[in-house]
Amino acid sequence: MEKTPFHLSVVATTRNDNHGGDLTCRMQHFIDGLVAQCNKHRLRTELILVEWNPPDDRPSLVESLRFPSDNQFCAIRIIQVPREVHLRLKHGDRIALYQMIGKNVGIQRALGTYVLATNIDILFSDELMRFLKHKLRPGILYRVDRLDIPSQLPKGGSFDDLLDFCKRSFFRINGKEGTTICPIDSPLLRLSYRYSFLRTLYRAMGLLGKVFLKTLRWFYKFIVRILSFDRNVIVHTLSTVRNMIARIQHRLTNKTLHTNACGDFTLMSKKNWEELRGYPEWDLFSWHLDSIVLYQARQHGIQEKDLPMKCAIYHIEHGKGYTPEGAQELFARLSAQKIPYLTNEMLDKTVRDMNASHEKVVYNQADWGFSNLKLKETQITR
C-alpha cells in the first residue's frame, strides 16, 4: 500500500453499547465490506472509527471487532474520545453519543484527499466504488440514495454474494424526493431502482398522476364556484395561479437538496470540509445536524451532485434509529428523556438565516473536532 495521503478517508462514529441491537455484527459487516471493496477495486483508503465515550462495562472496539488479515488497500485507525471529554458537553449525561461531533474528530484528523462521513451499518456497491476511485472532484458535495435491507443477512459466501442479496432484498428507498416502502411483490419499483431509465419512467408516471389528480380537483372546485355564482371566483383563481407560479419559481431558483438519510453518506474533499469546519457542534441530538452541512455547502458555493441509483448504498436495518414508521416513537422518547433536538421549524429558520447572510456562514471555532486535544489513537492496519 502506498503511503498517505490516501485518496479517500471513510469516517464513522460508534461505541460498543449494542445500540439498535446486534451492533457488533453490523459493524463487522461494515468493516469487512469496506475492506473487501477496497481490495477488489484497489482503492487506497483509510477507515477512521471514532470510538465515542466507550462504556466502562463493555470491551473496546479493538477487543470486540475482527480486522481482516488480507487487508491490502484499507488502513484502519480507531480514535477514542474518552468519557471525561464527552462530559464537557452540557447534555452529556443524557446523550451517550454525539454522532456529528464524533465525525468531526475523524474528519479533522483524516489524511485522505477526499473524506466520506458515513455510519457503521452501511455497505457500498461496486458501481459506487468505481465512481469513488475515478471521478471525485473538489468543490462538489456527493450524495447517494440509501436502500434499507433486512437486519438478518445471509451467513457465509463472498461479499459479492452479499451484494446480490442486497439488490434483491431492499425494502425501503430513501431518495431525494422522499422515502418509499418497496414491497417484495413490487417488481417494477425494484427494477426502476436498478436501472436508471426505468426509474425515470416510474417517477414521471407518478408525477403525472399527481398533477392530473390535483388539476382535476381544482377544475372541479372551479366549476362548482362558477355554477354557484361565487363572485370571488375570479379573485380566488388569480390568487391560485399566482401562488402556483411563485412555487415553480422557488423550485427553479432553490434547487432541492438531497437531505434524506444524508448522515449515511456525505462526501467532499478534505479542503471543503475544512472550509465549512465540519458539522455544527451543537449540544443536541444528531437529528437534522447532518442536513445543515448540505445547506452550508451550497451557501459556500460547493455544488451538490446526486449520484445515479446504481451507486446507491445499502443500510442494515436496526431498532432505535429513525424510520418513517417509528418517527413518533423516536421523538416521544427524546422528549421523555429531555434530549434537545433541531425541529423542522428550527431547521427552516436556520436555513433562512444562512441564506440571508452576506458572508459565508461557519458555525464552529478553529478548534473544531477537538483539534486542540491529543486523543488516544490505535493503528490497526497501516
Question: Using only C-alpha atoms, what is the Rg of the chain?
Answer: 23
CB 322 within 8 A of CB 287: yes
**pLDDT given at position 264:** 96
* Helix count and strand count (H, E) for the chain: 13, 13
Q: Angle at CA 307, nearest 5°, toward 304 and 309?
A: 145
Whether the full predicted model's pTM is greater than 0.85, yes or no, is no
Residue 115 to residue 216: CA distance in whole angstroms? 48
Note the helical H segments in the chain.
23-41, 61-64, 83-86, 99-109, 126-134, 159-169, 187-192, 196-227, 233-253, 270-276, 289-299, 327-336, 344-356
N- to C-terminal Cα separation, the chain: 8
Residue 16 to residue 26: CA distance in whole angstroms? 11
3 state DSSP class of 377: strand
**pLDDT given at position 19:** 79
**pLDDT given at position 233:** 56
Q: Which amino acid is at 333?
A: R
**pLDDT given at position 193:** 55
Residue 15 to residue 371: CA distance in whole angstroms? 20
CA distances from residue 96 to 11, 54, 185, 270 in whole angstroms, order as listed: 19, 9, 40, 28
Q: List the one residue out of 2, 11, 6 whose CA is nearest residue 111.
A: 6
pLDDT in tens, the chain (382 residues): 444 579 999 999 999 988 777 899 999 999 999 999 999 999 999 999 999 999 999 999 999 999 988 888 999 999 999 999 999 999 998 999 999 999 999 999 999 999 999 999 999 999 999 999 999 999 999 999 999 999 889 988 899 999 999 988 898 889 888 888 776 555 555 555 555 555 556 556 656 666 676 677 767 666 666 555 555 555 555 566 665 655 555 444 446 899 999 999 999 999 999 999 999 999 998 889 999 999 999 999 999 999 988 899 999 998 666 566 666 777 788 888 888 888 889 999 999 999 999 899 999 999 999 999 999 999 987 6
**pLDDT given at position 314:** 97
3 state DSSP class of 16: coil
Residue 62 to residue 66: CA distance in whole angstroms? 8
Residues 6+ apart with CB under 8 A from 114: 7, 8, 9, 132, 136, 267, 268, 269, 270
Q: Cell 422557488 sits at which residue?
A: 250
**pLDDT given at position 335:** 85
Residue 48 to residue 9: CA distance in whole angstroms? 7
**pLDDT given at position 253:** 46
**pLDDT given at position 122:** 97
